[in-house]
Amino acid sequence: MKKYKLTLLGLALMPIWVSAQLLPITDLPNTIVEHLDRTVNRNAERLQELKQQRLIEQQLQKTIAIKAQLLDPLVQLPNVLPIFDTRKQLVWNEVKVEQGHRAVEREWLILLSADQWQQVLEVVPVLSQYVQTRKSLDSLDLQLIKLQVPESLNNTQLLRQQLPELLAPYLSRNFIYQPQSDVMVPQVDAALVVNDKPEAMCQMPISLGMVDTAINPHHYAWPNAQENFALIQQHFLPAAIPTSYSHGTAVAGVLAGESDGLSPLLPSLTLYSAGAFYAQNEYQQGATLESILQALNWLVAQNNRVVNMSLTGPDNPVLSEVVTLLVAKEIILVAAAGNGGPAAAPLYPAAYDGVIAVTAVDDAKRLYRWANQGEYIDFAATGVKVLTTRADGSIGRESGTSMATPVVSAKVACLLALTPELTLAQVVQQLQQQAQDLGDPGKDNQYGYGLLTRPLKAGL
């Protein structure tokens, strides 16, 4: 029970307080009553406005929190993500592994020649029982062996102990790689039509390869004439896995889309699309290292000298070896620097030697706030709120280093169309001459050598 303390002052004032509470409201003048009514109504209306404003603010904060999570492709993915086929059968489990990376559960890849693989089996015959597939990478004269090992061997050090010393480095988990555009809930965009369409990068016929999701071939923004746009697609996923189209369609739209304010970078393009990504959820896609390597092998076999890779993932010896071999063949890989943020570690393949790493800026030439930074950054291009095609058949805006990468790929392809004998070093030198220096003078960790834009500058 509450206790109350009654003071002398309280006793003295009590009769006044009581009589005040019993005073009939009708005894007050009408003007005072009307004023009180207005005041009460205004206060009630203001209270209602504050409640509505608070609800709006709460909803806004909730939306911001969700989008902040979605900006990091790995935040909302569970530690174990089952991947099912169209029959709802489990194909594999995608799991979180060391250093926060993701990989296919207990799957490992070995990259060897046929003779080296035979040598491995002679030394460690037990490995043959773990083999899931053996796929030939003909363009590289190598074999890609996929193992599924028991939990007792599911460790880099343990597995390498099973291999001959010279061959042990060519081993990697079957890592998962991510596309590099913002993972955002689709929304309706205002003012999509742009009156002043930018020039093309060049008018010459161009052949270009890309590793990405599949591309929606029926989008209305693709030019109808075969000589203007030819799309050649090949998929590198198990046939029963549902096909993902969103990211690849957006990247292709930057290269070839022509409608509703879209102006193609390459108005005469043959695009070789190697589909390697599957849907992790409604907004995200992943690609296994195995699929990426098969995709690269196919693109090289189609005589593509420039390959756009708007994707990132972890460093590993298998991908590193393939990149080294492709660079030696003068295949030019143009890759997204990554959307990990200014303090993030380098991402791959962009950070490998011989790969052109691309970061993103907005129309005001300000660095994209989620762009990776570091010594490996080579060039910048517009990649924030870029108008492009979407897999659902619409036109919308996308952001990320993914959207900047095809600008540089297009410029490289145009340079090679003009002068096919250019080496990688010569291409980079010519790109430097075409770049607008941003940030600190010379090459820096934010913009690289500077900003590349359309059109191609001739005669440099």
- What phi, psi does 384 have (nearest 5°)? -115, 125
Is 247 a catalytic site residue? yes
Contacts of 249 (CB under 8 A, 6+ apart): 213, 215, 216, 219, 389, 390, 391
Is 402 a catalytic site residue? yes
**N residues, the chain:** 460
Which is the catalytic residue, given 181, 212, 273, 320? 212
- Per DSSP bridges, beta strands 306-309 and 332-336 are parallel
Q: Which two tokens stand for residue 144?
A: 């890609």
Is 235 a catalytic site residue? no
| Helix (H), strand (E), coil (C) string for 8-59 | HHHHHHHHHHHHHHCCCHHHCCHHHHHHHHHHHHHHHHHHHHHHHHHHHHHH
Which is the catalytic residue, given 181, 320, 402, 409? 402
* Cα four-point dihedral sign 227, 217, 309, 445: positive
Which is the catalytic residue, given 139, 235, 247, 320? 247
Would you please indicate which residues are annotated as catalytic (active-site) residues? 212, 247, 402
